[in-house]
A and B are shown apart, each in its own frame.
Chain A
């Protein structure tokens, strides 16, 4: 891989990577069983430089912001490369947000350019908020007959002639990544080139890539993990990234085999789905076949106790490994949500799943399992260069995890108050509760802050959801994460609760419940409120009439039990 110490910015490292790995396959894009694109690093460069030149000619200057709103595909990475080549700041936005949310974030980050997939632009064009859009929009894959309003076709937006590479310093801003918070307070993490270069260096120390590695990119590329492990990491190592346009489970399974995938990152939900599928197949085996399978699984387990032995595992359990393409070296998953039994299930089959922990504010990853030996009950050890502390530990050693590392973001965009609450004396306060075990592994036990993380890896901030309930006929309401009201040393049972303060003399009638249920249904499934409780006192408020959430949460938590929550 490239020696990242010698680079001052991502654009420079990526530029050298495409030159160094010229003939290696860099990107494969498949739609169902049809391969749409296969590019070498040289092909990639040929596609990216005319775009970079056109962006330069359109006056995208160093430090200015260009957003990408696209599902995972080669055009995402080509666009990102061109943006970095111009020295501009990349703003990767979640393509699963609503058009209104995307437009809100484009305005918040003051994007000069936005590169948007056609089907998303189609919806954005219908949004009343479009009138506030200041960015110049490049639309990918638009039909020739499509009306793009003021947008330009991405495919036509290219110029001949070499663009001028614009270098940046390590402390310059590389990306603004929204860690969620699309309601009243967008949380744009401002990440520097240093953050990414250091993160990439430390991750590849434990999990190196090389030419021949084929990484299956399933997590959204706008997400910190895929951006690092499915773009920057593979590129600086000359590896290949495989994109799928269809993420249906059956096509994902086929892709493992067709492209002999070696590495993949998955959210817990997908991993559990794979586990369910395999378990069902095992259950369906006849008695003797099942006996033989169990015997070889036990044998594999005993031989891989100290560390993985992929070659041996593939020989002992060939059918299972063939179903994953036969070359799968490791799967990565994030989070405390991962059930140890799922991790153990795969490890016993000879497929190591490296469980890690991180947050956008910390670059990507703070800890990951090094598989020496495999541990299913922790989120691993701090990566090289990452210092972690447990603040105010209780009698069991559990306290808030704080991180100090060159990978920690600079600040939240335009929010010094939130930055000051989050980064204190150079330490990032994660809001997660954890402790170290005797072997230096971090174990997570819950969350101190008012948020939940879904099984699909989404951060949900209750404040962001409150607008969906505006106008509900009650005196006031407030939404909390149940685990924030009633802290538990667990990450299970996460749900959102709406606290309702009724008008004087008002009863909680079925019409009111129907109204709340109806509003709730308009939210995406992962943002829905799970229960409600009626609160008999006025909410405490600040002088500027904002709800004092922390105070209210404490009052509710102390005077009510979790069982007081009624299901919606």
Chain B
């Protein structure tokens, strides 16, 4: 079982790869709408990639109101 920190780190790495930015430019408390300039559709695309990676299903509502990587990691960790 992954630790919360591992989950968070993997999410940051995947987000960096998915949106083609350097990993070191992303921090856990970054607001991904702002840091990555994303809209809600693009964050849904990231969700799909995370689902494949963690082999879980995340309902869309898990992302409702979430705008930083740390909270996203908490939601994913709860389903692992």
Query: Which residues on A are within 8 Å of B, measured CB to CB?
Result: 32, 71, 96, 98, 119-120, 245-250, 269-270, 273, 455-456, 521, 524-525, 528
Cβ-based interface call for B3 (8 A): no
Besides A246-B59, A456-B40, 5 new A-B residue pairs in contact (Cβ under 8 A), listed by A number: A71-B61, A119-B61, A249-B41, A521-B31, A525-B39
In the complex with contacts A524-B65, A525-B67, A273-B33 CB distance below 8 A:
no
**In the docked arrangement, what's the CA distance between A245 and B59, Å?**
8
In the complex with contacts A269-B39, A456-B40, A521-B31, A245-B60 CB distance below 8 A:
yes
Enumerate chain B residues within 8 angstroms of A98, measured Cβ to Cβ: 65
In-complex Cβ contact of B44 among A119, A120, A248, A521 (8 A): A248
In-complex Cβ contact of A249 among B31, B44, B57, B67 (8 A): B44
**In the docked arrangement, what's the CA distance between A422 and B65, Å?**
32
Q: Dominant SS at the A interface?
A: loop
25 contacts between A and B (CB under 8 A): A32-B57, A96-B64, A119-B59, A119-B61, A245-B59, A245-B60, A246-B60, A247-B44, A247-B60, A248-B47, A248-B48, A249-B41, A249-B44, A250-B45, A250-B48, A269-B39, A270-B41, A273-B41, A456-B39, A456-B40, A521-B34, A521-B67, A524-B65, A524-B67, A525-B33
7 cross-chain pairs, A with B, having the tightest CB-CB distances, nearest first: A525-B33, A248-B44, A521-B31, A119-B61, A273-B41, A248-B48, A246-B60
Chain B: which residue is nearest A526 at the CB level? B40
**In the docked arrangement, what's the CA distance between A253 and B59, Å?**
18
Enumerate chain B residues within 8 angstroms of A247, measured Cβ to Cβ: 44, 60
**In the docked arrangement, what's the CA distance between A388 and B6, Å?**
59
Enumerate chain A residues within 8 angstroms of B34, measured Cβ to Cβ: 521, 525, 528
Enumerate chain B residues within 8 angstroms of A32, measured Cβ to Cβ: 57
Question: Considering residues B39, B47, B59, which has the most beta carbons from chain A within 10 angstroms of its beta carbon?
Answer: B39
Q: How large is the interface on B (under 10, 10 to 19, 20 to 34, 35 or more residues)?
A: 10 to 19
Binary A-proximity of B20-56 (CB < 8 A = 1, otherwise 0): 0000000000010110000111001101100000000
Chain A: which residue is nearest B33 at the CB level? A525
CB distance from A525 to the nearest CB of B (A): 4
Enumerate chain A residues within 8 angstroms of B47, measured Cβ to Cβ: 248
Enumerate chain B residues within 8 angstroms of A249, measured Cβ to Cβ: 41, 44-45
**In the docked arrangement, what's the CA distance between A273 and B57, Å?**
23
Chain A: which residue is nearest B68 at the CB level? A521
Enumerate chain A residues within 8 angstroms of B41, measured Cβ to Cβ: 249, 269-270, 273
**In the docked arrangement, what's the CA distance between A217 and B64, Å?**
19
**In the docked arrangement, what's the CA distance between A120 and B62, Å?**
11
Enumerate chain B residues within 8 angstroms of A248, measured Cβ to Cβ: 44-45, 47-48, 60
CB distance from A426 to the nearest CB of B (A): 39
CB distance from A12 to the nearest CB of B (A): 34
Enumerate chain A residues within 8 angstroms of B45, measured Cβ to Cβ: 248-250
**In the docked arrangement, what's the CA distance between A273 and B40, Å?**
11
CB distance from B44 to the nearest CB of A (A): 5
**In the docked arrangement, what's the CA distance between A32 and B51, Å?**
13
Question: Considering residues A98, A119, A245, A248, which has the most beta carbons from chain B within 10 angstroms of its beta carbon?
Answer: A248
Enumerate chain A residues within 8 angstroms of B59, measured Cβ to Cβ: 119, 245-246
CB distance from A199 to the nearest CB of B (A): 28
**In the docked arrangement, what's the CA distance between A525 and B57, Å?**
24
**In the docked arrangement, what's the CA distance between A137 and B40, Å?**
30
**In the docked arrangement, what's the CA distance between A269 and B38, Å?**
12
CB distance from A78 to the nearest CB of B (A): 20
